[in-house]
Amino acid sequence: DSGVTQTPKHLITATGQRVTLRCSPRSGDLSVYWYQQSLDQGLQFLIQYYNGEERAKGNILERFSAQQFPDLHSELNLSSLELGDSALYFCASSAAGGGIDYGYTFGSGTRLTVV
């Protein structure tokens, strides 16, 4: 157990639907990062939150959004789902938001299948 909890582990949904993925960071970590892993795109950085504020944005589609709540858990919302959104979505956390950092701790991921 890495200390980063992601739910659900698996999600199957239809095209056009909306889903929410949840991540609880490791205790004491202030930063949460979301990554998408697919066979054709590899590991793509989506977005980072630090202590409730958006810190960096990567290759995140406009149909996707995220937030980090006061208790530091984060949610990734995916809407108007397409077949191509099927992927493994990882959350990671780290103690720092900027400056020197020494790597993340990853959760075990949510496997999203859009049918």
Partner 1 sequence: AQSVTQLGSHVSVSEGALVLLRCNYSSSVPPYLFWYVQYPNQGLQLLLKYTTGATLVKGINGFEAEFKKSETSFHLTKPSAHMSDAAEYFCAVTGAYYGGATNKLIFGTGTLLAVQP
Closer of 70 and 99 to partner 1 (Cβ): 99
Write down the residue that tokens 């609880």 correspond to: 24
Closer of 61 and 79 to partner 1 (Cβ): 61
| CB of residue 16 to partner 1, shortest distance in Å | 28
β-strand pairing of 19-24 with 5-7 = antiparallel
| CB of residue 93 to partner 1, shortest distance in Å | 12
| CB of residue 39 to partner 1, shortest distance in Å | 10
Where on the chain is the footprint of partner 1 (CB under 8 A)?
Answer: 2, 4, 33, 35, 42-43, 45, 48, 55-56, 58, 90, 92, 94, 96-109
Closer of 60 and 79 to partner 1 (Cβ): 60
| CB of residue 45 to partner 1, shortest distance in Å | 5
- Residue 73 sits at φ, ψ, to 5 deg, of -70, 160
Closer of 81 and 92 to partner 1 (Cβ): 92
Would you call 91 helix, strand, or coil by DSSP?
strand
Nearest to 45 by CA among 3, 5, 2, 104: 104
Q: What CA–CA distance (Å, rounded) separates 26 from 22?
A: 13
Write down the residue that tokens 């406009």 correspond to: 62
